[in-house]
């Protein structure tokens, strides 16, 4: 089997460069941006603060009146907070309006005007926790890839890491080299813009499709895995040529049995499978303000055997962002309801008075509580007896799905390591999605990384 080269990073970086460089003149003429520029004469760009009260971005003014944007955590928050010169990215872009507005008291504003001084813009307090972010950043180590940590019942993003990273303090100095180096796409936020084959994490949706199409029979599913399945000229292997033997649906899921899931794929009405995936926002924009890429799901009733068998196990032409996989996992953890992911907890004045607060907002119910419960049970089995048993040693319960996503790039064949899952299974606290590029199997790399993030969460927030 040959899997198609999967990254569109080259395309993405081309796009970022296009927006930032070629469209700069046009954007500056745009009325909204002109208004922002006018605000820069009146306001000093406000601060961005973490949920645990640390400064993530602030502007200091030198004796000569020069305004310098500082990022105390440097590379740790580089993509999600972003930068504010050479174009804007991340929250610096999406919260730009709030940072260059002020709800300071009329008295303060009059005083500033009398002194011919600028007023401090409002502060944006984000949902990201600096301690958890730092732990996730450390956990990903030297891998390229991404981590998303979110609360399934609110949609709050608590951590979002992307590597390779950069130091936003020196964005102007490194700009020329990062925009011309298309091979590593340093500026790309892989958590929201990186498109990867989902590998076996996608079996969550294949399972859901099968449960819906065979509502009474899916519990009777039986399959005898011999590690290999050949239909016409297409052969699917179980990872590492494992022979899983006799399985029901739950054990096939827990072992991540490829041949069982390719068989399921062949039984599905793939037009219905296509609709289901689009309900889960494949081929659609995500309900979030941060820049992100649109995932891809092409399978339908007219697809070939090969496409059906590979797509059912998360290969084929399917591509997804880590954020979307976190949202799908959150839907399971949250009893079937997908929440809109969000990053801004509240806006406050420079001296700390709350101006507005974000209320968690539901996107939609995407599965019944019964469907969510069954998937949660299968994901728990993965930790109990399947590919994520390394998560079973801690003082929290966990559920999840691993993925080992094969890809081919310039003749090089590699495997991305995935894990998606949640902790405290009876009342889930945290969803974590991890992808370590070229990290091998999900079990060996992504699972231990996720374990570190869960552990950090409980040491910060308690049980």
**What residues make contact with Zn ion under the rule CB under 5 A?**
225, 238, 244, 257, 259
With a CB cutoff of 8 Å and minimum separation 6, the contacts of 198 are 314, 318, 319, 320, 325, 403, 405, 418
Q: Which is nearer to Zn ion, 45 or 244 (CB)?
A: 244
Nearer to Zn ion, 321 or 387 (CB): 387
Choose between 159 and 260: whose C-beta lies nearer to Zn ion. 260
Smallest gap from residue 251 Cβ to Zn ion (A): 10
User: Which is nearest to 459 in space by CA: 394, 399, 388, 398?
Assistant: 394
- Nearer of residues 197 and 386 to Zn ion, judged by Cβ: 386
Taking the least distance from each CB to Zn ion, the nearer of 152 and 386 is 386
Which uninterrupted H or E stretch holds 400? strand 398-409
As measured in angstroms, the least distance from the Cβ of 318 to Zn ion is 20
Q: How far is the CB of 161 from Zn ion (least distance, A)?
A: 32
Q: Say how many C-beta atoms besides its own lie within 10 A of residue 322's C-beta.
A: 29
- Minimum separation from the CB atom of position 227 to Zn ion (A): 6
Around Cβ 41, how many Cβ atoms within 10 Å? 7
Q: Note whether 86 and 175 are within 8 A (CB).
A: yes
CB of 241 to Zn ion, least distance (A): 9
Distance CA 207, CA 375 (A): 8
Minimum separation from the CB atom of position 200 to Zn ion (A): 11
Closest CA to 315 of 206, 191, 188, 433: 206
Phi then psi for residue 258, to 5 deg, are -65, -40
**For Zn ion, the closer CB: 234 or 355:** 234
Q: Minimum distance from CB of 386 to Zn ion (Å)? A: 12
Q: Toward Zn ion, which CB reaches closer, 249 or 450?
A: 249
Question: Which are the contacts of 406, defined by CB distance < 8 A and separation ≥ 6?
Answer: 3, 197, 199, 315, 413, 414, 415
Kindly state the DSSP code that residue 221 receives in the 8-state scheme.
-
Closest C-alpha to 425, from 314, 340, 335, 338: 335
């Amino acid at each position: 089997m040959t899997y198609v080269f999967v990254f569109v990073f080259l395309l993405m970086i081309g796009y970022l460069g296009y927006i930032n460089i070629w469209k700069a003149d046009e954007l500056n003429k745009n009325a909204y941006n002109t208004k922002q520029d006018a605000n820069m004469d009146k306001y000093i760009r406000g601060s961005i603060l973490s949920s645990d009260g640390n400064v993530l971005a602030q502007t200091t003014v030198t004796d000569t009146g020069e305004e310098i944007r500082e990022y105390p955590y440097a590379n740790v928050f580089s993509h999600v907070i972003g930068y504010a010169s050479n174009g804007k990215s991340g929250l610096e872009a999406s919260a730009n309006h709030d940072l260059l507005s002020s709800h300071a008291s009329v008295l303060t504003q009059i005083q500033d005007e009398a002194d011919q001084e600028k007023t401090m813009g409002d502060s944006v307090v984000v949902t990201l926790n600096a301690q958890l972010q730092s732990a996730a950043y450390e956990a990903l180590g030297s891998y390229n890839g991404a981590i998303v940590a979110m609360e399934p019942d609110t949609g709050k993003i608590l951590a979002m890491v992307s590597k390779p990273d950069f130091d936003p303090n020196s964005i102007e100095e490194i700009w020329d080299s990062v925009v011309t180096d298309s091979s590593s796409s340093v500026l790309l936020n892989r958590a929201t813009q990186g498109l990867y084959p989902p590998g076996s994490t996608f079996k969550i949706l294949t399972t859901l499709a099968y449960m819906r199409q065979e509502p009474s029979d899916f519990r009777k599913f039986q399959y005898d895995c011999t590690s290999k399945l050949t239909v016409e000229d297409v052969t699917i292997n179980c990872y590492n040529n494992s022979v899983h033997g006799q399985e029901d649906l739950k054990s096939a899921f827990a072992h991540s049995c490829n041949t069982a899931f390719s068989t399921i794929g062949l039984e599905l009405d793939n037009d219905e499978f296509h609709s289901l995936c689009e309900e889960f926002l494949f081929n659609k924009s995500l309900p979030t303000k941060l820049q992100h890429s649109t995932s891809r799901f092409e399978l339908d009733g007219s697809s070939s055997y090969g496409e059906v068998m590979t797509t059912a196990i998360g290969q084929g032409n399917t591509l997804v962002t880590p954020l979307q996989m976190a949202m799908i996992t959150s839907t399971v953890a949250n009893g079937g309801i997908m929440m809109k992911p969000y990053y801004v907890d509240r806006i406050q004045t420079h001296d700390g008075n709350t101006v507005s607060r974000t209320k968690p907002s539901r996107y939609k119910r995407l599965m019944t509580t019964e469907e969510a419960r069954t998937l949660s049970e299968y994901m728990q089995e993965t930790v109990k007896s399947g590919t994520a048993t390394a998560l079973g040693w801690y003082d929290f319960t966990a559920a999840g799905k691993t993925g080992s996503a094969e890809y081919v790039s310039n003749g090089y064949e590699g495997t991305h390591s995935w894990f998606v899952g949640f902790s405290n299974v009876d009342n889930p606290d945290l969803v974590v999605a991890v992808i370590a590029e070229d990290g091998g199997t999900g079990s060996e790399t992504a699972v231990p990384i996720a374990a570190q993030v869960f552990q950090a969460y409980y040491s910060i927030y308690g049980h």
